[in-house]
Amino acid sequence: MPQTDRLTPQQERTWALLVGVMMWLPAELDAYLERSADLSHAEYGVLRCLSVGEDREIHMGRLAATASVTPSHLSRIVARLEKRGLLARSTDPSDARRTLARLTEPGVILLRAVDPGYIAEVRARVFELLEGEQLDQLEDLSEAILTPIRGECVALLPPRSARQDT
């Protein structure tokens, strides 16, 4: 009968590797963003989420799910970004109980300046280290782990594209 109170050696190693990726990859990206734009990774994620919408505006609740931050953390992030003039908040004209966040022109300009370097960092630290099948596996595994935890975040992602080697 297998022990249920301990991980197997393979599970221990895999878990340690996963925790290392979860800890150190965001820290590396945080350091890059701090140096290049005086932004945290979470702040950058919020700005990117706002930038993908046609009108660069989104309800705060959906923004929290899309940016993968808690509503209370989002409030602090938005306050910092608003203070810098990178986004603005307003009451939803169709529902006064809801707040909209909108990317401002200075936010757009900052993202245009930061995006190429950030994308290069992500490619170098993740995607250039993986071969086609490994990338497919990483996508599958990430979705399998995240779906039961935050299915609403997965549901907000664009649909899976046709798989091809890039």
Tracing tokens 């929290």 back to the chain, one arrives at 64
Give the length of the chain.
166
pLDDT for residue 2: 61
CATH architecture for the domain at 26-114: Orthogonal Bundle (1.10)
Residues in the chain where the model's pLDDT stays below 70: 1-3, 162-166
3-class secondary-structure state, position 58 = strand
Give pLDDT tens digits for 53-69. Answer: 778 988 888 888 888 88
Cβ neighbours for 44, distance < 8 A, ≥ 6 positions apart: 33, 37, 114, 118
Beta bridge partners of 100: 59, 90
Q: Is the Cα torsion angle 68, 72, 76, 79 positive or negative in sign?
A: positive
pTM given for the model: 0.82
Domain boundaries defined on the chain: 26-114, 126-156
Is residue 101 within 8 Å of residue 81, measured between CB atoms? no
